[in-house]
Amino acid sequence: MQKRSSVPFADNEGFFSRVYELTRLIPRGRITSYGAIARYLGTAGSARMVGWALNTSHSVPGLVPAHRVVNRNGMLTGKHHFGNSSTMQQLLENEGFTIEDDRIIEFRERFWDPSVEL
């Protein structure tokens, strides 16, 4: 092998890239949770890593709909990381979601579980 990953985002390398790709697979109008992603990646329990990965999603080419990823409560825990605290909520509302008190009302109905859908 010649290169040893000078690229921050190789396709098959890293836990992060998988998170990005999986997040990118979330259909519009659907949302999922950190735990669901972590579980699909085989690292159940390490949902925190998913959030960490999405944190670096800003450096990832191709849009990563991180706003479709919330915690298991359906709360927009990472809204503060979208630049403006209201950006995430607006994006979700734009996709037909109803946000009330930083929580997605249709969370349970619109939940997209990768381990089930995929």
Partner DNA sequence: ATTCTGACAGCAA
Partner DNA sequence: TTTGCTGCCAGAA
Select 72 or 105, whichever has its Cβ closest to DNA. Answer: 72
| Residue 93, CB-side half-sphere exposure with 13 Å CA sphere | 11
Select 25 or 49, whichever has its Cβ closest to DNA. Answer: 49
Strand partners, 104: 99
- In the complex, least distance from residue 30 CB atom to DNA, rounded to whole angstroms: 15
- Judged by DSSP in three states, 30 sits in coil
Select 27 or 80, whichever has its Cβ closest to DNA. Answer: 80
Where on the chain is the footprint of DNA (CB under 7 A)? 14-16, 33-35, 38, 43, 45-52, 54-58, 66-67, 69, 71-73, 77-78, 80-82
- In the complex, least distance from residue 88 CB atom to DNA, rounded to whole angstroms: 7
Select 1 or 45, whichever has its Cβ closest to DNA. Answer: 45
Separation of first and last alpha carbons in the chain: 32
- In the complex, least distance from residue 104 CB atom to DNA, rounded to whole angstroms: 13
Kind and range of the H or E run holding 50: helix 47-55
Using the structure block, give the residue that is written with the tokens 């890593």. 49
CA–CA separation, 33 and 68 (whole Å): 8
- In the complex, least distance from residue 67 CB atom to DNA, rounded to whole angstroms: 7
